[in-house]
């Protein structure tokens, strides 16, 4: 017996885990003919997700209607409806909700008549119900005689299982027996992949607020309401991925991608922000964004593709000389057709990856390498030019000095380029080189330029004093003596 009891207990736990009893709740217990019964259903175990189900509607001892479908991939409520026929009286009518071999039953009664009752019929929804998108409902209004009604005032709103309004579409009036209401679904209220109810409540008042049937007869003191399920769809299906799960400083870049599926049958414009961050836990101030990038993209209808950015591996202070736990993230915004407004944002992250840093040097000078090379090239060309123009037997020392300075600048530039390539810290070196170029290079550059100006002035003076005949010109003599 001691061995059997634990086995029985385990069997009961296993059975309850595989299939628990599904739950069925009706929107009311008592109805009048032509009203609508709404069955709200929920599941409670993972085994019941994405499973086929049926709802049977029984009344007057016979099966009236059978609905079937698939349970959602979550624990959110879902709905089925049944329109009660006219002229019936039922006791203990019921709805039977079945998944696999388990079921739940809810009972209701039908009595009275449909006098003074407005019935909402022929309900349809325009466009897909998408967060941030325009969504419309259109319906027809009839009285107890099945005649269309004009001037009926109807309140339309969306709700969930609580019955409280989540978003009001507003008050509309029927014309030609039909009313319609449109609004943008609030993306902060309606969640993708979840079912909601559109509630329509209509009435015909007295006097100026009376209604008219399609034959022109007045209809007063009538009222009616109904509920209609709708499912909020999804614009996109997104997850964030990276090209690797481990990096070093030598990798230089991380390819962060948003793997995007467009669930719609038309092209969607997107604004994507890519980033990655490293440090402590998600709620830690040590976790900081290392690099990010934003761009405008688009994705074609019913397409799945990776949209990526190459983010730089920056050896900032917080990740230096250690193995860092990091994650990448993308924020994908669905844009309107004109690309000016955002409808919905999908923030996703990837699994953790590592960046191994073996250096205490921050690689921030890369962006300045072009300007550094241009400055050094200027000094190399300038000193070479001064050495070339200051030619003459007595000026060999000056020429050698300027050629030597040009060569030194070339050697320094070569070292800086190599040091930058292998990751050596250049901060101190660049500061020293800058001071040397400013003080010594600048001084010798000014002296050389001054000597060049004097030489040109002396040559010009010799040309002005040149004698006639074969006598050696004074400027040639001066040139030989001085230069």
For Cα atoms 22, 26, 28, give the angle at the middle one, nearest 5 degrees: 155
User: Is 296's pLDDT higher than 80?
Assistant: yes
Q: How confident is the model at residue 434 (pLDDT cuts 50, 70, 90)?
A: low
Residue 44 belongs to some domain of the structure: yes
Domain count for the chain: 3
CATH number at residue 241: 2.60.40.640
Across the chain, what does the average pLDDT equal?
Answer: 83
pLDDT at position 402 is 75
The C-alpha atoms of residue 100 and residue 231 are separated, in whole angstroms, by 24
Same domain, 247 and 309: yes
Q: How confident is the model at residue 15 (pLDDT cuts 50, 70, 90)?
A: very low
Q: How confident is the model at residue 14 (pLDDT cuts 50, 70, 90)?
A: very low
pLDDT at position 6 is 44
Residue 152 Cα to chain centre, angstroms:
43
Q: Which of 226, 219, 208 is nearest to 148 (CA)?
A: 219
> What are the tens digits of pLDDT across the range 16-30?
444 457 899 998 999
User: Which of 295, 326, 356 marks a domain boundary?
Assistant: 356
pLDDT at position 433 is 66
User: Which of 171, 199, 231 marks a domain boundary?
Assistant: 231
The C-alpha atoms of residue 455 and residue 314 are separated, in whole angstroms, by 53
CB 357, CB 249: distance < 8 Å = yes
Adjacent-strand bridge partners of 70: 52
Residue 9 belongs to some domain of the structure: no
pLDDT at position 8 is 41
pLDDT at position 108 is 96
Residue 165 belongs to some domain of the structure: yes
Question: Across residues 420-437, what is the average pLDDT?
Answer: 61
Residue 11 belongs to some domain of the structure: no
Residue 430 belongs to some domain of the structure: yes
Question: Across residues 384-399, what is the average pLDDT?
Answer: 68
Predicted structure pTM score:
0.67
The C-alpha atoms of residue 170 and residue 155 are separated, in whole angstroms, by 6
Within 206-302, where are the H helices?
none
Same domain, 188 and 95: yes
Q: How confident is the model at residue 114 (pLDDT cuts 50, 70, 90)?
A: confident
pLDDT at position 338 is 78
The C-alpha atoms of residue 223 and residue 335 are separated, in whole angstroms, by 41
- Percentage of residues in the chain having pLDDT higher than 90: 57
CB 224, CB 123: distance < 8 Å = no
Q: Reduce the DSSP state of residue 94 to 3 states and report it.
A: strand
Tokens 């009344």: give the residue: 59
- Percentage of residues in the chain having pLDDT higher than 70: 78
Parent domain of 45: 21-231
**Phi then psi dihedrals of residue 63, to 5 deg:** -75, 120
Same domain, 314 and 386: no
Same domain, 227 and 240: no
CB 111, CB 129: distance < 8 Å = no
> What are the tens digits of pLDDT across the range 147-165?
999 999 999 999 987 888 9
Q: Which of 229, 208, 236 is nearest to 330 (CA)?
A: 236
> What are the tens digits of pLDDT across the range 239-256?
999 999 999 999 999 999
Provide the 8-state DSSP code for 181: E
Question: Across residues 114-135, what is the average pLDDT?
Answer: 91
User: Which of 205, 231, 257 marks a domain boundary?
Assistant: 231
Same domain, 259 and 406: no
For residues 146 and 4, the model is more confident at 146
> What are the tens digits of pLDDT across the range 59-98?
999 999 999 999 988 888 899 999 999 899 999 999 999 9
């Amino acid at each position: 017996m001691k061995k059997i009891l634990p086995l029985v207990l385990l069997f009961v736990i296993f059975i309850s885990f595989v299939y628990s009893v599904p739950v069925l709740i009706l929107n009311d217990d008592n109805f009048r003919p032509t009203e609508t019964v709404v069955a709200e259903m929920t599941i409670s175990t993972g085994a019941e997700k994405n499973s086929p189900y049926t709802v049977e509607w029984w009344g007057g001892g016979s099966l009236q209607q059978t609905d079937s479908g698939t349970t959602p991939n979550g624990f959110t409520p879902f709905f089925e409806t049944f329109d009660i026929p006219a002229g019936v009286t039922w006791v203990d009518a019921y709805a039977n909700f079945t998944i696999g071999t388990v079921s739940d039953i809810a009972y209701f009664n039908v009595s009275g008549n449909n006098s003074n009752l407005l019935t909402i019929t022929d309900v349809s929804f325009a466009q897909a119900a998408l967060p941030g998108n325009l969504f419309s409902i259109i319906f027809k209004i009839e009285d107890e005689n099945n005649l269309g009604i004009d001037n009926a005032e109807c309140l339309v709103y969306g709700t969930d299982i609580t019955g409280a309004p989540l978003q009001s579409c507003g008050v509309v009036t029927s014309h030609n027996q039909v009313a319609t209401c449109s609004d943008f679904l609030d993306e902060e209220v309606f969640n993708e992949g979840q079912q909601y109810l559109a509630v329509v409540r209509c009435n015909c008042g007295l006097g100026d607020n009376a209604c008219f049937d399609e034959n022109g007869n007045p209809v007063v003191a009538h009222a009616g309401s109904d509920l209609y399920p709708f499912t909020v769809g999804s614009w996109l299906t997104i997850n964030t991925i990276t090209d690797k799960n481990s990096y070093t400083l030598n990798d230089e870049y991380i390819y962060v991608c948003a793997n995007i599926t467009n669930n719609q049958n038309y092209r969607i414009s997107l604004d994507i922000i890519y980033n990655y961050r490293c440090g402590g836990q998600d709620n830690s101030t040590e976790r900081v964004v290392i690099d990010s990038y934003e761009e405008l993209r688009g994705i074609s209808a019913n397409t799945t593709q990776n949209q990526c950015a190459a983010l730089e591996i920056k050896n900032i202070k917080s990740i230096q000389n250690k193995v860092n736990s990091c994650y990448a993230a993308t924020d994908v915004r669905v844009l309107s057709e004109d690309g000016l407004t955002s409808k919905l944002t999908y923030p996703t992250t990837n699994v953790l990856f590592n960046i191994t840093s073996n250096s205490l040097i921050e690689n921030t000078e890369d962006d300045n390498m072009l300007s550094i090379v241009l400055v050094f090239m200027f000094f190399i060309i300038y000193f070479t030019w001064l050495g070339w123009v200051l030619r003459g037997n007595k000026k060999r020392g000056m020429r050698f000095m300027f050629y030597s300075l040009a060569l030194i600048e070339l050697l320094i530039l070569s070292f800086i380029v190599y040091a930058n390539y292998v990751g050596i810290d250049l901060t101190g070196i660049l500061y020293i080189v800058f001071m040397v170029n400013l003080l010594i290079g600048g001084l010798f550059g000014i002296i050389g330029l001054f000597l060049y100006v004097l030489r040109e002035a002396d040559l010009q003076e010799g040309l002005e004093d040149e004698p006639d005949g074969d006598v050696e010109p004074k400027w040639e003599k001066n040139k030989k003596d001085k230069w």
